[in-house]
Protein backbone atom coordinates (compact mmCIF):
# COMPACT_ATOMS: atom_id res chain seq x y z
CA UNK A 1 0.00 0.00 0.00
CA UNK A 2 1.35 3.42 -0.92
CA UNK A 3 -1.45 5.69 0.30
CA UNK A 4 -3.96 5.70 3.13
CA UNK A 5 -6.77 5.69 0.60
CA UNK A 6 -5.44 2.56 -1.05
CA UNK A 7 -5.17 0.85 2.34
CA UNK A 8 -8.75 1.69 3.30
CA UNK A 9 -10.06 0.69 -0.13
CA UNK A 10 -8.23 -2.64 0.14
CA UNK A 11 -9.61 -3.18 3.64
CA UNK A 12 -13.18 -2.61 2.46
CA UNK A 13 -12.73 -5.04 -0.43
CA UNK A 14 -11.19 -7.74 1.74
CA UNK A 15 -7.87 -7.61 -0.12
CA UNK A 16 -4.55 -8.42 1.51
CA UNK A 17 -3.12 -5.54 3.54
CA UNK A 18 0.37 -4.44 4.48
CA UNK A 19 -1.00 -3.63 7.95
CA UNK A 20 -4.29 -3.11 9.77
CA UNK A 21 -5.75 0.39 9.24
CA UNK A 22 -6.19 2.66 12.25
CA UNK A 23 -7.96 5.96 12.82
CA UNK A 24 -8.67 7.91 16.00
CA UNK A 25 -10.60 11.17 16.19
CA UNK A 26 -11.44 13.82 18.77
CA UNK A 27 -13.18 17.12 19.28
CA UNK A 28 -11.17 20.33 19.20
CA UNK A 29 -12.98 22.58 21.69
CA UNK A 30 -12.65 26.34 21.08
CA UNK A 31 -10.85 25.60 17.79
CA UNK A 32 -14.12 24.16 16.46
CA UNK A 33 -15.77 27.59 16.39
CA UNK A 34 -14.33 28.76 13.07
CA UNK A 35 -13.68 26.79 9.88
CA UNK A 36 -10.08 27.94 9.72
CA UNK A 37 -9.11 26.93 13.27
CA UNK A 38 -10.97 23.59 13.09
CA UNK A 39 -9.19 22.81 9.82
CA UNK A 40 -5.83 23.79 11.31
CA UNK A 41 -6.35 21.65 14.42
CA UNK A 42 -7.46 18.69 12.32
CA UNK A 43 -4.45 19.02 10.04
CA UNK A 44 -2.07 19.14 13.03
CA UNK A 45 -3.75 16.03 14.45
CA UNK A 46 -3.18 14.18 11.19
CA UNK A 47 0.38 15.47 10.86
CA UNK A 48 1.26 14.21 14.34
CA UNK A 49 -0.23 10.70 14.07
CA UNK A 50 -0.73 9.88 10.39
CA UNK A 51 -4.11 8.13 10.68
CA UNK A 52 -5.51 6.15 7.76
CA UNK A 53 -8.54 8.43 7.48
CA UNK A 54 -9.39 11.89 8.74
CA UNK A 55 -12.69 12.23 10.51
CA UNK A 56 -13.74 15.89 10.80
CA UNK A 57 -15.37 16.56 14.17
CA UNK A 58 -17.10 19.92 14.52
CA UNK A 59 -19.25 20.67 17.55
CA UNK A 60 -22.72 19.18 17.14
CA UNK A 61 -24.15 22.70 17.00
CA UNK A 62 -22.72 23.33 13.53
CA UNK A 63 -25.96 21.93 12.11
CA UNK A 64 -28.22 23.72 14.61
CA UNK A 65 -26.96 27.27 15.00
CA UNK A 66 -28.79 28.44 11.88
CA UNK A 67 -31.99 27.53 13.75
CA UNK A 68 -30.89 29.58 16.76
CA UNK A 69 -29.29 27.02 19.09
CA UNK A 70 -26.58 28.36 21.40
CA UNK A 71 -23.88 26.31 23.15
CA UNK A 72 -20.70 26.95 25.12
CA UNK A 73 -17.49 25.19 26.13
CA UNK A 74 -17.40 24.15 29.79
CA UNK A 75 -14.42 21.81 29.90
CA UNK A 76 -16.04 18.45 29.17
CA UNK A 77 -13.28 15.86 28.72
CA UNK A 78 -14.92 14.58 25.54
CA UNK A 79 -14.51 18.05 24.07
CA UNK A 80 -18.25 18.51 23.63
CA UNK A 81 -20.09 21.75 24.29
CA UNK A 82 -23.18 22.30 26.46
CA UNK A 83 -26.38 23.79 25.04
CA UNK A 84 -27.50 26.92 26.85
CA UNK A 85 -30.34 27.86 24.49
CA UNK A 86 -32.75 25.31 23.06
CA UNK A 87 -34.83 25.97 19.96
CA UNK A 88 -37.70 23.62 20.84
CA UNK A 89 -39.47 24.43 24.11
CA UNK A 90 -43.09 23.67 23.22
CA UNK A 91 -44.89 21.24 20.95
CA UNK A 92 -45.74 24.02 18.52
CA UNK A 93 -42.05 24.77 17.95
CA UNK A 94 -41.58 21.63 15.85
CA UNK A 95 -43.71 23.18 13.13
CA UNK A 96 -41.68 26.39 13.16
CA UNK A 97 -38.48 24.80 11.90
CA UNK A 98 -37.57 25.76 8.35
CA UNK A 99 -35.52 23.70 5.91
CA UNK A 100 -31.91 24.92 5.89
CA UNK A 101 -29.97 25.18 2.67
CA UNK A 102 -26.28 24.37 2.60
CA UNK A 103 -25.47 28.05 2.13
CA UNK A 104 -26.90 28.90 5.55
CA UNK A 105 -24.08 30.64 7.45
CA UNK A 106 -23.02 27.89 9.85
CA UNK A 107 -23.48 25.04 7.39
CA UNK A 108 -21.54 27.02 4.81
CA UNK A 109 -18.76 27.56 7.37
CA UNK A 110 -18.42 23.80 7.79
CA UNK A 111 -18.23 23.35 4.03
CA UNK A 112 -15.45 25.93 4.04
CA UNK A 113 -13.59 23.88 6.66
CA UNK A 114 -13.90 20.81 4.44
CA UNK A 115 -12.67 22.78 1.46
CA UNK A 116 -9.53 23.82 3.36
CA UNK A 117 -8.90 20.25 4.48
CA UNK A 118 -9.42 18.79 1.02
CA UNK A 119 -7.07 21.35 -0.47
CA UNK A 120 -4.36 20.53 2.08
CA UNK A 121 -4.80 16.76 2.26
CA UNK A 122 -5.57 16.03 -1.38
CA UNK A 123 -7.30 12.79 -2.27
CA UNK A 124 -4.78 10.26 -0.96
CA UNK A 125 -6.07 10.61 2.62
CA UNK A 126 -9.79 9.79 3.00
CA UNK A 127 -11.83 12.65 4.46
CA UNK A 128 -15.03 11.97 6.39
CA UNK A 129 -17.46 14.58 7.75
CA UNK A 130 -19.42 14.02 10.95
CA UNK A 131 -23.19 14.15 10.44
CA UNK A 132 -25.65 13.71 13.29
CA UNK A 133 -28.86 11.77 12.74
CA UNK A 134 -32.12 13.76 12.63
CA UNK A 135 -33.12 12.30 15.99
CA UNK A 136 -29.77 13.27 17.53
CA UNK A 137 -30.17 16.80 16.18
CA UNK A 138 -33.72 16.92 17.53
CA UNK A 139 -32.40 15.95 20.96
CA UNK A 140 -29.99 18.88 20.89
CA UNK A 141 -32.70 21.25 19.68
CA UNK A 142 -35.09 20.30 22.46
CA UNK A 143 -33.11 18.55 25.19
CA UNK A 144 -33.32 14.83 25.81
CA UNK A 145 -36.23 14.77 28.25
CA UNK A 146 -38.33 17.21 26.22
CA UNK A 147 -37.76 15.25 23.03
CA UNK A 148 -38.86 11.98 24.60
CA UNK A 149 -41.95 13.56 26.13
CA UNK A 150 -42.92 15.24 22.87
CA UNK A 151 -42.48 12.20 20.65
CA UNK A 152 -44.73 10.20 22.99
CA UNK A 153 -47.33 12.97 23.33
CA UNK A 154 -47.45 14.19 19.72
CA UNK A 155 -45.52 11.89 17.44
CA UNK A 156 -47.05 13.63 14.41
CA UNK A 157 -45.55 17.02 15.31
CA UNK A 158 -42.14 15.56 16.13
CA UNK A 159 -42.29 13.61 12.87
CA UNK A 160 -42.78 16.81 10.90
CA UNK A 161 -39.78 18.34 12.64
CA UNK A 162 -37.68 15.27 11.87
CA UNK A 163 -38.63 15.52 8.19
CA UNK A 164 -37.36 19.11 8.11
CA UNK A 165 -34.14 18.18 9.91
CA UNK A 166 -33.59 15.23 7.58
CA UNK A 167 -34.07 17.35 4.46
CA UNK A 168 -31.70 20.03 5.79
CA UNK A 169 -29.10 17.34 6.47
CA UNK A 170 -29.56 15.83 3.02
CA UNK A 171 -28.93 19.21 1.42
CA UNK A 172 -25.73 19.65 3.40
CA UNK A 173 -24.47 16.19 2.39
CA UNK A 174 -25.36 16.77 -1.25
CA UNK A 175 -23.46 20.06 -1.24
CA UNK A 176 -20.35 18.40 0.22
CA UNK A 177 -20.64 15.68 -2.41
CA UNK A 178 -21.20 18.06 -5.28
CA UNK A 179 -18.00 19.95 -4.51
CA UNK A 180 -15.94 16.79 -4.01
CA UNK A 181 -15.13 17.71 -0.42
CA UNK A 182 -15.62 14.33 1.28
CA UNK A 183 -15.17 10.63 0.71
CA UNK A 184 -17.93 9.80 3.14
CA UNK A 185 -19.82 10.80 6.25
CA UNK A 186 -19.51 9.66 9.83
CA UNK A 187 -23.19 9.18 10.64
CA UNK A 188 -23.84 9.37 14.40
CA UNK A 189 -26.87 7.47 15.72
CA UNK A 190 -27.46 8.15 19.41
CA UNK A 191 -30.91 6.79 20.24
CA UNK A 192 -30.63 3.10 19.35
CA UNK A 193 -30.27 2.38 23.08
CA UNK A 194 -32.73 0.40 25.19
CA UNK A 195 -32.56 2.91 28.05
CA UNK A 196 -33.69 5.73 25.74
CA UNK A 197 -36.27 4.26 23.39
CA UNK A 198 -38.10 1.01 22.84
CA UNK A 199 -37.05 -0.83 19.71
CA UNK A 200 -40.35 0.11 18.08
CA UNK A 201 -39.84 3.78 18.92
CA UNK A 202 -36.35 3.72 17.48
CA UNK A 203 -37.59 2.16 14.24
CA UNK A 204 -40.31 4.83 13.90
CA UNK A 205 -38.35 7.92 14.92
CA UNK A 206 -34.77 6.85 14.29
CA UNK A 207 -34.33 4.22 11.62
CA UNK A 208 -36.92 5.59 9.18
CA UNK A 209 -35.32 9.06 9.11
CA UNK A 210 -31.81 7.58 9.13
CA UNK A 211 -32.49 5.67 5.93
CA UNK A 212 -34.05 8.75 4.37
CA UNK A 213 -31.01 10.86 5.25
CA UNK A 214 -28.43 8.26 4.27
CA UNK A 215 -29.79 8.09 0.72
CA UNK A 216 -27.99 11.37 0.05
CA UNK A 217 -24.68 9.79 1.09
CA UNK A 218 -25.12 6.51 -0.78
CA UNK A 219 -22.92 7.56 -3.76
CA UNK A 220 -19.96 8.11 -1.41
CA UNK A 221 -17.53 5.22 -0.92
CA UNK A 222 -16.55 5.67 2.74
CA UNK A 223 -19.59 6.10 4.96
CA UNK A 224 -19.10 5.21 8.62
CA UNK A 225 -22.04 4.40 10.88
CA UNK A 226 -21.45 5.28 14.53
CA UNK A 227 -23.75 3.52 16.98
CA UNK A 228 -23.50 5.45 20.21
CA UNK A 229 -23.92 4.19 23.76
CA UNK A 230 -24.63 0.92 25.53
CA UNK A 231 -27.43 -1.66 25.39
CA UNK A 232 -27.68 -0.89 21.71
CA UNK A 233 -30.07 -2.18 19.06
CA UNK A 234 -27.22 -3.39 16.88
CA UNK A 235 -29.39 -5.43 14.55
CA UNK A 236 -31.72 -2.49 13.92
CA UNK A 237 -28.89 -0.65 12.14
CA UNK A 238 -26.78 -3.55 10.87
CA UNK A 239 -28.16 -3.24 7.34
CA UNK A 240 -27.68 0.53 6.97
CA UNK A 241 -26.07 1.63 3.68
CA UNK A 242 -22.57 2.30 5.01
CA UNK A 243 -19.21 0.62 4.60
CA UNK A 244 -17.93 0.75 8.20
CA UNK A 245 -19.63 0.41 11.58
CA UNK A 246 -18.19 1.86 14.79
CA UNK A 247 -19.64 1.27 18.26
CA UNK A 248 -18.54 0.98 21.90
CA UNK A 249 -17.39 -2.60 21.38
CA UNK A 250 -15.35 -2.67 24.60
CA UNK A 251 -18.29 -1.40 26.65
CA UNK A 252 -21.37 -3.14 25.25
CA UNK A 253 -22.25 -6.18 23.13
CA UNK A 254 -21.56 -7.26 20.49
CA UNK A 255 -17.81 -7.78 20.53
CA UNK A 256 -15.87 -7.33 17.30
CA UNK A 257 -15.89 -11.08 16.70
CA UNK A 258 -19.60 -11.46 17.45
CA UNK A 259 -20.46 -8.58 15.10
CA UNK A 260 -18.76 -10.06 12.05
CA UNK A 261 -21.60 -12.37 10.91
CA UNK A 262 -24.28 -9.83 11.83
CA UNK A 263 -23.52 -7.01 9.39
CA UNK A 264 -22.08 -6.38 5.94
CA UNK A 265 -20.06 -3.45 7.31
CA UNK A 266 -16.40 -3.58 8.32
CA UNK A 267 -16.10 -3.15 12.11
CA UNK A 268 -14.11 -0.26 13.58
CA UNK A 269 -13.05 -0.38 17.22
CA UNK A 270 -10.95 -2.42 19.58
CA UNK A 271 -9.55 0.23 21.94
CA UNK A 272 -11.52 1.26 25.01
CA UNK A 273 -11.51 4.92 25.88
CA UNK A 274 -10.75 4.06 29.50
CA UNK A 275 -7.60 2.24 28.44
CA UNK A 276 -6.32 4.97 26.16
CA UNK A 277 -6.86 7.59 28.88
CA UNK A 278 -5.90 5.71 32.06
CA UNK A 279 -3.93 2.70 30.82
CA UNK A 280 -0.30 2.28 29.94
CA UNK A 281 1.21 2.19 26.48
CA UNK A 282 1.49 -1.59 26.86
CA UNK A 283 -2.21 -1.81 27.76
CA UNK A 284 -3.10 0.03 24.57
CA UNK A 285 -0.90 -2.20 22.41
CA UNK A 286 -2.37 -5.30 24.05
CA UNK A 287 -5.92 -4.20 23.23
CA UNK A 288 -4.99 -3.52 19.62
CA UNK A 289 -3.44 -6.98 19.30
CA UNK A 290 -6.53 -8.54 20.85
CA UNK A 291 -8.83 -6.68 18.47
CA UNK A 292 -6.90 -7.93 15.44
CA UNK A 293 -6.95 -11.45 16.86
CA UNK A 294 -10.73 -11.30 17.41
CA UNK A 295 -11.53 -10.91 13.70
CA UNK A 296 -9.47 -13.93 12.59
CA UNK A 297 -8.07 -12.31 9.46
CA UNK A 298 -11.28 -10.52 8.48
CA UNK A 299 -11.14 -6.80 7.72
CA UNK A 300 -11.13 -4.44 10.71
CA UNK A 301 -10.18 -0.84 11.35
CA UNK A 302 -8.68 -0.10 14.75
CA UNK A 303 -10.29 2.79 16.62
CA UNK A 304 -11.98 3.74 19.86
CA UNK A 305 -15.68 3.09 20.32
CA UNK A 306 -16.46 6.78 20.35
CA UNK A 307 -14.78 10.17 20.26
CA UNK A 308 -11.38 10.17 21.96
CA UNK A 309 -11.27 12.15 25.24
CA UNK A 310 -9.13 15.24 24.85
CA UNK A 311 -7.14 14.21 27.94
CA UNK A 312 -5.69 11.09 26.29
CA UNK A 313 -1.90 11.13 26.51
CA UNK A 314 0.40 11.56 23.54
CA UNK A 315 2.28 8.42 24.55
CA UNK A 316 -0.85 6.26 24.42
CA UNK A 317 -1.80 7.70 21.04
CA UNK A 318 1.64 6.87 19.73
CA UNK A 319 1.31 3.36 21.20
CA UNK A 320 -1.99 2.86 19.35
CA UNK A 321 -0.56 4.11 16.08
CA UNK A 322 2.67 2.11 16.21
CA UNK A 323 0.95 -1.08 17.39
CA UNK A 324 -0.45 -1.74 13.89
CA UNK A 325 3.05 -1.57 12.42
CA UNK A 326 4.20 -4.66 14.33
| Whole-number Å distance between alpha carbons of 7 and 134 | 32
Q: Is the pLDDT of residue 326 over 90?
A: no
Strands (E), the chain: 54-56, 70-72, 82-85, 127-132, 184-189, 224-227, 244-247, 266-271, 301-304
Q: Please answer whether residues 251 and 234 qualify as being in contact, where contact means their C-beta atoms are separated by less than 8 angstroms.
A: no
CA nearest to 226, candidates 23, 15, 12: 23
Q: Is the pLDDT of residue 5 over 90?
A: yes
Residue 147 lies in domain: 4-323
Q: Is the pLDDT of residue 301 over 80?
A: yes
Percentage of residues in the chain having pLDDT higher than 70: 100
264-281 pLDDT tens trace: 999 999 999 999 999 999
3-state helix vs strand vs coil in the chain, percent to 5: 50, 15, 35
**Ramachandran angles phi, psi of 293, nearest 5°:** -65, -40
CA 90 from centroid of its chain's CA atoms: 29
pLDDT value, residue 289: 98
pTM: 0.98
**What average pLDDT does the structure give for the chain?**
98
Q: Is the pLDDT of residue 1 over 70?
A: no
158-193 pLDDT tens trace: 999 999 999 999 999 999 999 999 999 999 999 999
Residues whose CB falls within 8 Å of the CB of residue 169, separated by 6 or more in sequence, listed in order: 63, 131, 132, 134, 137, 213, 216
Percentage of residues in the chain having pLDDT higher than 90: 99
Provide the pLDDT confidence category of residue 286 given band limits of 50, 70 and 90: very high
Task: Report how far apart, in Å, the C-alpha atoms of 273 and of each of 49, 159, 258 are.
Answer: 17, 35, 20
Provide the pLDDT confidence category of residue 2 given band limits of 50, 70 and 90: confident
CA 38 from centroid of its chain's CA atoms: 16
Q: Per this entry, what is the length of the chain?
A: 326
Task: Report how far apart, in Å, the C-alpha atoms of 198 and of each of 28, 55, 117, 253 are.
Answer: 33, 30, 39, 17
Strand partners, 186: 130, 224
Q: How many structural domains compose the chain? A: 1
pLDDT value, residue 154: 98
Q: What is the CATH number for 217?
A: 3.20.20.210
The mean per-residue pLDDT over the stretch 58-72 comes to 98
* Angle, vertex CA 307, rays to CA 250 and CA 300, nearest 5: 55
The total of other beta-carbon atoms located within 10 Å of residue 236's CB is 17
Q: Is the pLDDT of residue 129 over 90?
A: yes
Q: Is the pLDDT of residue 44 over 70?
A: yes
Amino acid sequence: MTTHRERIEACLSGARLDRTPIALWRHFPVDDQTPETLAAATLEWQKNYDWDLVKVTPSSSFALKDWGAVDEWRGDTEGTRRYIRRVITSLDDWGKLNVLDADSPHLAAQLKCLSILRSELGTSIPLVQTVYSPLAQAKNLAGGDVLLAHLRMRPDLVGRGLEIIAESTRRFIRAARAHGLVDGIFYAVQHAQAQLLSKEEFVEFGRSYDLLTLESARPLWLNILHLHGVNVYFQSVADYPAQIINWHDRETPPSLSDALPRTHMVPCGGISRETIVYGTMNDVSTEVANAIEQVHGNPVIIGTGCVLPVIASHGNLVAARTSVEI
